[in-house]
Structure 1
Amino acid sequence: MNSVLLDPRLLRAFAAIAGHGSFTGAAAELNMTQSTISQQLARLEDAVGHGLIDRSARPVRPTPAGERLLGHARRILALQAEAANLLADPAGTQAVRIGVAEDILTPEMAGVFAGFSEWHREVRLDVTTGLSRELARRYRNGEFDVIVIKEHKASTDCRASFAEPMAWFESASAARDWSDPVPLVAFPPGGLYRDEMFARIEREQRHWYIGFTGSSLSSVLVAVEAGMGISLLPCLSTLGRNVRICDGLGMEQSMTVSLYAWETTGRIGQLVSSMTALLANRNARPE
């Protein structure tokens, strides 16, 4: 394809001449001399191999070949203008990468993200949920700007931390006698709660087996509600669910909800402050 044919300067000159019906009007619109307009039209006509404007007509008008090209020329120019306006808008051009434990991404946290995005249209929030240990590893490798994870104890560079009450839960409506071996509802290998479950059951000198493995908090809760086994879970994650604290095992040692961020100033600092305030409010809720 002849690159001259798609030169927007030449197409714009041609469209302006056709629109005004004169070289003079086109030159005034494009702030060019009439000679320059004529030269640009001539270059376009040489590229396509056809005359595009009938210069003998008064007012001048497109030739049959010009009529065929005119609609395409105007669409090309419109698309170019649209692309230029799109690139001139900074919305979503700067990414902030956030990693959060699954039960932290609540409607309230999404509201914090929405409020931040409304004030900072240039920022795109890339949010990833996952297992805390994997999120922490990726944060240390520089893959996230901010993370909120669960851990036993916060590191010294933690920006904020809160206690996370933990307990053993069973179905509230499908009660069972959890005699040995005890079926456990667990997260996949590498999950923090999974290891804690095994350690506690073994300290109790109980026999156990994995009755269900769920890749998400939602799937684990559904399995517990159905009576497929017992599971160690954050108390806040069970609010409104058909589960209850399991007799005999009850409460477990609290874990820590930790927020880490490489920056605490500027826009990221504002987001971190809002997230911290929400986590503090979340921690203060009555169980």
Structure 2
Amino acid sequence: MLDLELLKTLVCVVDEGSFTRAATRVHRTQSTVSQQVRKLEQSVGKTLVLRDRAGGNVSATEDGELMLAYARRLLAIAGEAEHVVSAPRAARVMRLGVPEDFDVSRLTVLLAQFAASHGDVRLETASGMSSDLRAGLASGDLDLALVKREPGDGPCLAAWPERLVWVGGRSRDRDATAVPLVLFPQGCIYRKRMIYALESAGRPWHIAYHSHSLAGVQAAVAAGLGVSLLPEFACLDTHVELGEQEGFAPVLPTELAIVTDQRALGPVEQDLLAALKQAIADDAQIAAA
């Protein structure tokens, strides 16, 4: 096996054209540099440099030139390997999507714990409508997502039923001819359920307020701007649950599901999946399956 240190000395001697100058460059004595070149010559059985006794100059022989070409390549590869191995590793990116109307109070704590225990992973979490999260999975922009959906709507990694209730404010208009609705944007499954339920019952309705955020919908309902359909966990003390006596029949549960892009999950994805399951269970946000 060729010694990289000896090859480095050979390159230095030929580049400098002198044992003396090469010794200064590598911070060794001239005799040590000379010995290293001789050792390399002995290992390959060839004379690699010629010494000009009169002027003290050094030049490569034909075999030396051949060895130099390989030496430079080997030293370059060794330097590259050292740089790559010693450099900080680029963090792997894990991208998670959560619904816009999902209570993330417990989830954020568990995601922070996941990030702390996976130093080589950069977790990116984005919120949005479930329809947008599905599109993100399909395009490869997300690795895992929590989505609100109709029960059993496709494969998933885990799923829980989500009980929905009609809610209004304490100061709501009970005599309104058309039901004022507080809605999430188009694509929200709650919005679809509300409109379908009222139209099936023959009750007129109109949009009183709409918001992308759960907090916005909760506040609008509490203020008496209208009624809405929310998951049970999202009902506030300032809300009043509405039932059949108020003209609001129960609706079937929706489903909160963890979905992916169909790839097999590795250890990191499995750990993130466990954190999501724990967040949902710990918050008791949905009824037990």
TM-score range normalised by the length of the shorter chain:
0.5 to 0.7
1:190 to 187, 190, 209: 187
| Structure 1 residue 228 displacement after superposition | 0.4
Q: Does 1:259 align with 2:258?
A: yes
Aligned to 2:240: 244
Alignment of 1:63-142 (within 5 A): 88-90=87-89, 93-142=91-140
Classify the secondary structure of the residue corresponding to 1:128: strand
1:224-270 superposed Cα distances (whole Å, 9 cap, x missing partner) = 111000011111122x4411212331532110000013443311111
TM-score calculated relative to the size of structure 2: 0.64
Distance 1:170 1:160, change over 3 A: same
Classify the secondary structure of the residue corresponding to 2:145: strand
Output the CA distance in 2 between the equivalents of 1:93 and 1:178. 58
**Cα contact 2:182–2:226 (8 A) shared by 1:** yes
Aligned to 1:21: none
**Cα contact 1:188–1:214 (8 A) shared by 2:** yes
Classify the secondary structure of the residue corresponding to 2:155: coil
Output the CA distance in 2 between the equivalents of 1:152 and 1:174. 32
Letter in 2 for 1:255: T
Distance 1:31 1:107, change over 3 A: farther
Alignment of 1:112-261 (within 5 A): 112-171=110-169, 173-238=170-235, 240-246=236-242, 247-249=246-248, 251-261=250-260
Aligned to 1:78: none
Q: Which runs of 5+ in 1 are unaligned?
A: 1-26, 36-83
| Structure 1 residue 178 displacement after superposition | 4.4
Output the CA distance in 2 between the equivalents of 1:283 and 1:214. 25
**Cα contact 2:180–2:206 (8 A) shared by 1:** yes
Classify the secondary structure of the residue corresponding to 1:252: coil
Output the CA distance in 1 between the equivalents of 2:151 and 2:203. 27
- Return structure 1 stretches of 4+ with deviation > 3 angstroms: 30-35, 87-90, 280-287
**Cα contact 2:167–2:221 (8 A) shared by 1:** yes
**Cα contact 2:185–2:210 (8 A) shared by 1:** yes
RMSD: 2.8
TM-score calculated relative to the size of structure 1: 0.65
| Structure 1 residue 273 displacement after superposition | 1.6
Output the CA distance in 2 between the equivalents of 1:284 and 1:196. 19
1:158-197 superposed Cα distances (whole Å, 9 cap, x missing partner) = 01000101011101x3142143211111111222211111
**Cα contact 1:167–1:245 (8 A) shared by 2:** yes
Distance 1:279 1:263, change over 3 A: farther
The structure number with the bigger radius of gyration is 2
Q: Which runs of 5+ in 2 are unaligned?
A: 1-22, 31-82
Alignment of 1:33-44 (within 5 A): none
Output the CA distance in 2 between the equivalents of 1:164 and 1:98. 20
Output the CA distance in 2 between the equivalents of 1:149 and 1:178. 36
Distance 1:154 1:285, change over 3 A: closer
**Cα contact 2:164–2:253 (8 A) shared by 1:** yes
1:110-136 superposed Cα distances (whole Å, 9 cap, x missing partner) = 111111111111111111111111211
Aligned to 1:49: none
**Cα contact 1:162–1:280 (8 A) shared by 2:** no
Letter in 2 for 1:253: L
Classify the secondary structure of the residue corresponding to 1:253: coil
Tell which deviates more after alignment, 225-234 or 99-108: 99-108
Output the CA distance in 1 between the equivalents of 2:95 and 2:156. 17
Output the CA distance in 1 between the equivalents of 2:106 and 2:238. 22
Distance 1:286 1:154, change over 3 A: closer
Output the CA distance in 2 between the equivalents of 1:188 and 1:127. 21
Tell which deviates more after alignment, 115-124 or 188-197: 188-197
